[in-house]
């Protein structure tokens, strides 16, 4: 036992082994188990457990309380983010020092100041004896968790139209009112573009739509296809400026909300949002196609068909803007982590911007420009988290405490990922050339305001 634990709990941290249990060492408390994995380093927070043990600085601004044996089972049977999320969402792991709508400081502390290491096999055996073999029996996860990928086969093959519709419903049809509370007036659920660090969220989202509009060289009378259009913010932005815009979303609730918003603004002659799969769009000859936050749901192996389809919707000289989350390299696995896959974006996949550019080029498009907006996404998530905190009671009333906690955890974790370059956000601009390699007279240099 470390000096730290002896100071905080002089006599209560060592527990006797249960009758009939053979062990050559005294049974460790849960606080001592954590100290074993911390390998003697000072803990950056306070930890308390249901067995009465505790460790870490008594005056630490952050603390974790493991409240139940079920919580210990979650942590032991799914080490890493999935087990932590299960215990937290189920209420078996309490957090103090941060708001559940924005636990960013806790996650940042765990990521940067807590370095857990696997102990030697002999010590690990003592740990297992101490916590009890029964804690290694899996227990049912919280009801907010999706099935593992192999059990989703009953819903169709991965990234089939049927299964894609199901996972989109899981994430985007949570509650339109909930999204209004989190996203604010813009109702835009993608990375904003901040003109300066002090800009507010709605200004930054409007600036992002301006940037997309200008990159696509849209003008009154042009035709825009926006795939994965969400609540139709880009469609309405373009229609206000005389562009005939069509949006497509797999979320029935998003389509209904967008149609009402289009009618309320009197944009019905120029704007339309359809409920359906982007692959069902029959029209072609569009002047521009925007894909803002859809690529993450497509599946890396489906990129050739995806970018090929988008290219086929463009006229010669037409422009494509693809805006999506990426990894910082092109070598890692595409699958999302356990927590994101089970609670947030089922079947989501990410790859590097190099792979995105390659696939766009292989679809026959010429890439004109690329930029990374990852710091802007960290700011966007900061502001969404602040909205959730400000509207916490209403959000919990709308979707329940567990789901609200999932969203707070997901947005704070994603913010940390963008801030620390675990993930990035890239916009790629490309053109469909004519039969002789012409781009129909595009300017020689970028024509948009950054």
pLDDT at position 347, please? 79
Q: Assess whether 226 and 334 both reside in one domain.
A: yes
Match 């790859």 to its residue by tokens: 351
Q: Assess whether 123 and 165 both reside in one domain.
A: no
Render the burial of 321-352: b for 16+ CB within 10 Å, e for the rest. Answer: bbbbbbbeeeeeeeebbbbbbbbbbbbbbbbb
Q: Assess whether 128 and 52 both reside in one domain.
A: yes
In a domain, 246, yes or no: yes
The number of distinct structural domains making up the chain is: 2
Q: Assess whether 222 and 110 both reside in one domain.
A: no
In a domain, 449, yes or no: no
Q: Which residues of the chain have pLDDT under 70?
A: 1-25, 149-173
Q: Assess whether 7 and 130 both reside in one domain.
A: yes
In a domain, 141, yes or no: no
pLDDT at position 423, please? 97
In a domain, 153, yes or no: no
220 contacts 241 by C-beta, under 8 angstroms: yes
Taking CA atoms, 414 is separated from 101, 105, 117, 134, in Å, by 13, 13, 24, 34
Per-residue tokens: 402: 């567990």
pLDDT at position 21, please? 43
Closest CA to 262 of 281, 234, 286, 303: 234
Q: How far apart are CA 370 and CA 314, in angstroms?
A: 19
pLDDT at position 325, please? 97
Q: Which domain holds residue 219?
A: 161-432
393 HSE (CA, 13 A, CB side) = 0
Q: Assess whether 64 and 187 both reside in one domain.
A: no
In a domain, 55, yes or no: yes
Q: Tell me 187's DSSP state.
A: -
In a domain, 446, yes or no: no
Q: How far apart are CA 171 and CA 385, in angstroms?
A: 17
In a domain, 150, yes or no: no
Q: How far apart are CA 181 and CA 394, in angstroms?
A: 8
Q: Assess whether 256 and 402 both reside in one domain.
A: yes
340 contacts 82 by C-beta, under 8 angstroms: no
Q: Assess whether 251 and 370 both reside in one domain.
A: yes
* Domain end call among 74, 103, 136: 136
What are phi and psi for residue 211, nearest 5 degrees?
-60, -45
Question: Where residue 420 sits, what CATH number does that domain have?
Answer: 3.40.50.150
* Domain end call among 136, 169, 184: 136
Q: Sheet holding 46-49: strands in order across? A: 54-55, 46-49, 63-66, 93-96
* Domain end call among 87, 102, 136: 136
Q: Assess whether 255 and 328 both reside in one domain.
A: yes
Q: Assess whether 356 and 261 both reside in one domain.
A: yes
pLDDT at position 12, please? 42
Q: Assess whether 43 and 169 both reside in one domain.
A: no
In a domain, 443, yes or no: no
Q: Assess whether 84 and 216 both reside in one domain.
A: no
Q: How far apart are CA 384 and CA 407, in angstroms?
A: 10
Q: How far apart are CA 98 and CA 63, in angstroms?
A: 9
63 contacts 45 by C-beta, under 8 angstroms: yes
């Amino acid at each position: 036992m470390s000096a730290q634990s002896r100071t905080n709990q002089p006599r209560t941290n060592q527990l006797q082994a249960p009758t009939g249990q053979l062990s050559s060492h005294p049974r460790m408390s849960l606080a001592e188990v954590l100290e074993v994995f911390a390998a003697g380093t000072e803990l950056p927070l306070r930890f308390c457990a249901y067995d009465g043990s505790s460790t870490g600085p008594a005056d630490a601004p952050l603390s974790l309380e493991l409240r139940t044996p079920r919580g210990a089972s979650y942590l032991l049977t799914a080490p890493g983010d999935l087990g932590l999320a299960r215990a937290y969402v189920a209420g078996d792991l309490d957090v103090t020092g941060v708001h559940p709508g924005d636990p960013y400081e806790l996650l940042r502390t765990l990521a940067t100041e807590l370095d857990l290491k696997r102990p030697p096999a002999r010590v690990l055996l003592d740990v297992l004896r101490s916590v009890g073999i029964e804690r290694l029996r899996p227990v049912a996860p919280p009801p907010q968790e999706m099935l593992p990928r192999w059990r989703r086969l009953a819903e169709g093959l991965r990234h089939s139209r049927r299964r894609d519709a199901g996972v989109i419903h899981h994430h985007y049809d949570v509650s339109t009112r909930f999204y209004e509370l989190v996203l604010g007036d813009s109702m835009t659920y993608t990375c904003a573009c901040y003109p300066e660090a002090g800009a507010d969220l709605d200004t930054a989202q409007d600036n992002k739509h301006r940037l997309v509009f200008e990159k696509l060289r849209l003008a009154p009378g042009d035709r825009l296809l926006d795939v994965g259009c969400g609540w139709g913010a880009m469609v309405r932005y373009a229609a206000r400026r005389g562009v005939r815009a069509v949006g497509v979303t797999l979320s029935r609730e998003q389509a209904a909300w967008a149609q009402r918003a289009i009618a309320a603004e009197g944009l019905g002659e120029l704007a339309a949002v359809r409920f359906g799969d982007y692959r069902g769009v029959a029209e072609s000859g569009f002047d521009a196609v925007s894909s803002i936050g859809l690529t993450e749901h497509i599946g890396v192996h489906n990129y050739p068909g995806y970018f090929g389809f988008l290219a086929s919707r463009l006229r010669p000289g037409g422009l494509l803007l693809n805006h999506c989350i990426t990894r910082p390299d092109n070598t890692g696995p595409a699958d999302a982590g356990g927590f994101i896959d089970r609670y947030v974006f089922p079947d989501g996949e990410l790859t590097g911007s190099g792979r995105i550019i390659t696939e766009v080029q292989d679809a026959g498009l010429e890439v004109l420009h690329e930029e990374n907006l990852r710091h802007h996404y960290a700011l966007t998530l900061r502001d969404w988290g602040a909205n959730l905190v400000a509207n916490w009671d209403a959000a919990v009333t709308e979707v329940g405490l567990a789901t609200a906690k999932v969203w707070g955890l997901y947005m704070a974790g994603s913010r940390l990922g963008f801030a620390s370059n675990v993930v990035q956000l890239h916009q790629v601009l490309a053109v469909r050339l004519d039969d002789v390699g012409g781009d129909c007279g595009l300017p020689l240099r970028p024509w948009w305001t950054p």
